[in-house]
């Protein structure tokens, strides 16, 4: 009976949607204008819960748990570029630089016109390349981030 209830909770929870808070606009500076905020993305309650848990686990140093939660979330929403980016951050913290780079690149493949997200992915790629000793690759990634 508990299994049936747990299953129904996951299925029903996966049908609900939450709207993320509106992005906060960056202060105006003398430099180039800030990119326009991307369209708000809706996520299922199940994915939002897994993402919150993953962030809490990562902040507490439980990186393996964080990665597992993000991988579960990605099975629900495999085209969610924010989930891929969060997983890239965890892989970077774990010292798995090749996976961090690959996962950030996967996030970029689903990011569409979200230039802010794409630029942050390029910065993650730069950090991963630098950690592997690829200074030229890191510079190229930072240049790509600047073009977003």
Q: Tens digits of per-residue pLDDT, 68-108?
A: 999 999 999 999 999 999 999 999 999 999 999 999 999 99
Say which residue, 13 or 59, is predicted with more confidence. 59
Question: Would you say residue 5 has pLDDT above 80?
Answer: no
Question: Would you say residue 146 has pLDDT above 70?
Answer: yes
Say which residue, 41 or 144, is predicted with more confidence. 144
Tokens 């890191």 belong to residue: 138
Q: Tens digits of per-residue pLDDT, 127-141?
A: 999 999 999 999 999
All residues at 6 or more sequence positions from 81 whose CB lies less than 8 Å from its CB, including other chains: 107, 108, 109, 110, 111, 112, 114, 117
Query: What mean pLDDT value characterizes the chain?
Result: 81
The pTM of the full predicted model, rounded to 2 decimals, is: 0.71
């Amino acid at each position: 009976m508990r299994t049936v209830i747990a299953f129904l909770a996951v299925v029903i929870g996966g049908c609900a949607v939450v709207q993320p808070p509106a992005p906060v606009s960056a202060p105006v500076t003398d430099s180039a204008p800030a990119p326009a905020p991307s369209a708000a993305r809706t996520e299922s309650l199940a994915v939002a819960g897994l993402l919150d848990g993953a962030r809490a686990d990562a902040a507490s140093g439980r990186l393996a748990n964080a990665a597992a939660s993000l991988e579960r979330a990605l099975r629900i929403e495999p085209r969610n570029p924010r989930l891929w980016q969060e997983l890239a951050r965890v892989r970077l913290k774990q010292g798995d630089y090749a996976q961090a780079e690959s996962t950030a690149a996967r996030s970029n493949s689903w990011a569409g016109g979200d230039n802010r997200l794409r630029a942050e992915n390029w910065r993650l790629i730069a950090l991963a390349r630098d950690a592997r000793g690829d200074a030229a690759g890191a510079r190229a990634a930072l240049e790509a981030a600047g073009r977003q």
